[in-house]
A and B are shown apart, each in its own frame.
Chain A
């Protein structure tokens, strides 16, 4: 579970997160959309414990959070197996149970027979699947994803989106998914939050597998406001 209450964060006097409160305890995918520089990634980094906030309360268990970045961030000198072992406690990583957990995590992201490969031998999509498997191995209560599919081609992106939706459903995960792509947010998420000027300006809940028809026009109006303020 993760909850933020009245969180504020500034950089060089400029407020990026402004007295923001957010509850991430609902299962499913929460998409966080907004214009570039609106504070989406800052918010995610605060929840992940990578960035200290100036004021407010962040109630999150860092040990139960899995993070997937825009880049896979696989250590190039380690094999896939060794990269995944880093997610497990040292004494557990090389045990049979550890190997079994790694094989399971790879199966979850539809990868097989790549344990002994090095990251340079993987495609962009495969590398990002390994990064997701690495996050899953931490048995996270909350999965944080910062534009994880932004650098991938359209076909691979589509495949990974579907895979993520299945994964979140089957493992009953809570996922905060940062993206600037409204179409992607609409496709994969159960709720969408629009970030604007450091606050959650609007939120939308999917009902009967559909978002309200006003979603696009409302989000566009916030994006336009952001463009004007640049």
Chain B
């Protein structure tokens, strides 16, 4: 059996189990809407354009939030890697911020910025910056000492050393950080939209909950999962296509 077919076996089994439970009458259809009802709800939401618009809104938010996270994380990682003093000065505040769930900041962020894109982007950045920052920083610091010596004997300039030795040494770690960070940004976004947005997939779920449409809630939840999975797969395949020749360990 091909790899892609194997990954579909468990979701299919869950779907069958879900349908059996829903149609057995043991649980209320309101609490657990059957897959068929959810499918019909998805078609209605698609036909009305609500689902497409919510997906587009959420995607735009997550991509801009994650891009800001990446830029900030790389700059911070370069900064703490360049200077031991800066590393020590930033260690405590970063460790403290890292431990605070981004959603805990939501009340303050709404007070400061109101319900809008600044609050949503702030939540995404707070949710996703740390995996990217930590992995990039660790990667940059984990250069093989033998390669450091080699660079000394070859008299490489600092810039050439960075691009030929340091950055490639950190690449596998950076890729892992980007994947984890993107997952976190997607999860933070939905949290942000549940509380501080009037559009997007999170808002669609809250709206459906208020209308007691658990089938629509289920559509929202599954769409989030499917899009997250799809984006992660596309990212992984894209990275493998570009980097597998030089970094086969990333794709093994």
The reply to whether A75 and B165 form a contact with Cβ atoms under 8 Å apart is yes
The yes or no answer to B146 lying at the interface (CB within 8 A) is yes
Q: Count A-B contacts at CB 8 Å.
A: 43
The reply to whether B155 and A73 form a contact with Cβ atoms under 8 Å apart is no
What are 20 A-B pairs with beta-carbon distances under 8 A?
Answer: A48-B153, A50-B152, A50-B153, A63-B155, A67-B153, A69-B149, A71-B146, A73-B147, A73-B149, A75-B147, A75-B150, A75-B164, A77-B168, A77-B171, A77-B247, A78-B168, A86-B154, A87-B154, A90-B160, A134-B154
* Interface mask (B164-194 → A, CB under 8 Å = 1, otherwise 0): 1100100100000000000000000000000
The reply to whether B146 and A73 form a contact with Cβ atoms under 8 Å apart is yes
Nearest chain A CB to B171's CB is how many angstroms away? 7
* Interface mask (A60-96 → B, CB under 8 Å = 1, otherwise 0): 0011011101010101011000000011001000000
Main secondary structure of the interface of A (DSSP, over half): loop
The yes or no answer to A49 lying at the interface (CB within 8 A) is yes
A90 to B160, CA, bound (A): 8
Count residues of A near B (Cβ-Cβ below 8 Å).
Answer: 21
The reply to whether A75 and B168 form a contact with Cβ atoms under 8 Å apart is yes
* Interface mask (A85-117 → B, CB under 8 Å = 1, otherwise 0): 011001000000000000000000000000000
A137 to B152, CA, bound (A): 15
Main secondary structure of the interface of B (DSSP, over half): helix
Residues of B within 8 A of A (CB): 146-147, 149-150, 152-157, 160, 164-165, 168, 171, 245-248
The yes or no answer to A157 lying at the interface (CB within 8 A) is no
Question: Which residue of chain A is the closest to B156 with respect to CB atoms?
Answer: A86
A81 to B244, CA, bound (A): 18
**Pairs of residues from A and B, 3 with the lowest C-beta to C-beta distance, nearest first:** A77-B246, A67-B153, A77-B168
The reply to whether B149 and A50 form a contact with Cβ atoms under 8 Å apart is yes
Nearest chain B CB to A58's CB is how many angstroms away? 15
The yes or no answer to A180 lying at the interface (CB within 8 A) is no
Nearest chain A CB to B145's CB is how many angstroms away? 11
The yes or no answer to A53 lying at the interface (CB within 8 A) is no
Given contacts A66-B153, A77-B247, A90-B160, 19 further A-B contacts (CB under 8 A): A48-B153, A49-B152, A50-B153, A69-B146, A71-B146, A73-B149, A75-B150, A75-B164, A75-B165, A75-B168, A77-B171, A77-B246, A78-B164, A78-B246, A86-B160, A86-B164, A87-B154, A120-B248, A138-B154
A86 to B171, CA, bound (A): 19
Q: A67 to chain B: which residues have CB within 8 Å?
A: 153
A210 to B201, CA, bound (A): 85
